[in-house]
Amino acid sequence: MLTELHQKSPYELLIKTGAEAAAIRKNERLERQKRMAIVQEKLAKFVTSTSLVDKNTRWSPKSVDTIKDFLIDVAPFVSPRVDQHYWSHLLLASIYAKNIAKIVNDSHIIGQSEGQAIMLLHDVGRLVIAHRYLQNDYIADIMLSNSKVREDFTNKMPPMKNILAFRKRFGNPIHSMNDMTYAVRIVDFSDNLGKMVGGELFTVEQTQSYSTKRLADYELYWPTEASGRRAMIENGKSELANSLVSEEANWLETHLKVDRNILRANVWQEFQNPKNQEWLRRVREAQTSGLTNISAVS
């Protein structure tokens, strides 16, 4: 797959032009503004009294439940491109982070409820625009900042922008796992492994082919898409992202003494817990019963 992408003409890696592309960008811009306003308002309302904002409020399962309530409340208004797998990914990734944090047992690195909260919100930008590469990350940054979410929380989010590092505003670039804090290693691993295929949890090996496949899925209607895809292909960032997951897996086993087989089994068992499955059912039903066309919202 990567070989085929390398053989593409440089012109194919440029942003799409023409009347049709301009119309798509115009419509998406208007829809994004309306949807973002709704998601932003709901996010700010829910997180105000939680440890996401207040440093004097200790991390607890209550904060996690508040975020889950937010996701149910906002589900009717999310982008139509958000598929049903999105919700299971949030849940699985949050369970991975919680279980690893439990093993680490050091809240100065990452606590169990904090890890869950990070993974439940790490893709919040996709609620607004699910299918535009990197744009959803910018939107997430804006909404979390506007909601006064603590910087020490957002600094632990999955680091794809720092891996791509084609703009200075992304922060310190990541060239190897040594450039990542322990917390960021944990959430990056949780993000990559917190997926399913064929009704089973991802393995480390499957994350490699998945990320490569995703390269071909992104369209090039926006500069961020074109720049991000070019960085992945021309600068070897795709290989770097894949190698980091493997290094993180080895680091968890050798440094933190995490048995990946036991971890995987525990995550799957907790995912199947009736309480988690009930939340998954409720959030999916809320999305299905809600709006699909944001232009209907005044």
218-259: per-residue pLDDT in tens? 677 887 777 777 777 766 788 888 899 999 999 999 999 999
User: What global pTM score does this model have?
Assistant: 0.89
Per-residue pLDDT for 148 more than 80? yes
**Distances in whole angstroms, Cα of residue 240 to Cα of each of 50, 94, 270:** 35, 24, 31
Q: Range with the lowest mean pLDDT among 41-45, 49-53, 210-214, 236-240? A: 210-214
Q: Range with the lowest mean pLDDT among 27-31, 114-118, 121-125, 213-217? A: 213-217
Per-residue pLDDT for 167 more than 50? yes
Q: What would the DSSP string read from start to end of the chain? A: -HHHHHTS-GGGGSPP-SHHHHHHHHHHHHHHHHHHHHHHHHHHHHHTTSTTT-TTSPP-HHHHHHHHHHHHHHGGGS-TT--HHHHHHHHHHHHHHHHHHHHH-BTTTB-HHHHHHHHHHTTGGGGT-TTSTTHHHHHHHHHHHHTT--HHHHTTS--HHHHH--SGGG-S--SSGGGS-HHHHHHHHHHHHS-EETTEEPPHHHHHHHHHHHHTT---SSHHHHHHHHHHHHS-HHHHHHHHHHHHHHHHHHTS---HHHHHHHHHHHHTSHHHHHHHHHHHHHHHHS-S-GGG--
CA dist 89 and 94 (Å) reads 8
Q: Chain-wide mean pLDDT for the chain?
A: 86
For residue 193 the two structure tokens come to 């492994």
Per-residue pLDDT for 33 more than 70? yes
Cβ atoms within 10 A of the Cβ of 184, count?
22
Over range 113-130, report the average pLDDT: 96
Per-residue pLDDT for 159 more than 90? no
Cβ atoms within 10 A of the Cβ of 11, count?
6
For residues 59 and 113, the answer to whether their CB atoms sit within 8 Å is yes
Over range 95-114, report the average pLDDT: 95
Domain boundaries, the chain: 26-296
CA dist 78 and 122 (Å) reads 15
Q: Report the half-sphere exposure of 285 (CA within 13 A, side-chain side).
A: 6
